[in-house]
Amino acid sequence: MAKILIIDDDYAIVELITDILQREGHAVETAADAVEGMQKARSARPDLIILDYHMPGMTGAHLYESLRRNQATNHTPILFMSGEASADDILNEIADAQGASFLAKPVHLEDFRRAVRAILAANSPPPAPK
């Protein structure tokens, strides 16, 4: 089970992906804006952050850069989701997109599940030697 933080101001999207992630056995926290998202990212230390690219007050790109500058969150994988920006737009706006992935909204649910599983698998610690 992973801890996942969703930072998105679209309540319907948050509700949908929260349900999907909880059915997969993950613990989910949510934040509706960048300020709340940064606070929860620092305190909860999630295994994955799902980040909307367009939010009121601060873009996902700016929040991404803040997360990368913070020692508590600088290695946390981030999955950007956006209906308005492409992966190229996001990558052009972010100087160093280490640990970032992208899905376009509307998201096909199986693609979402597959992306989350792949990110978590790629970032899980190796099993302890026997």
Position 91 pLDDT exceeds 80? no
Pair type for strands 3-7 and 48-52: parallel
* pLDDT at residue 87 in the model: 62
Question: Would you give the DSSP letter of residue 126?
Answer: P
State the DSSP H helix or E strand holding residue 68, giving kind and residue range, or none if neither.
Answer: helix 60-69
Strands of the 100-104 sheet, one edge to the other: 27-31, 3-7, 48-52, 78-82, 100-104
- Stretch 78-102: mean pLDDT: 72
Share of the chain above pLDDT 90, in %: 54
pLDDT interval class at 100 (50, 70, 90): confident
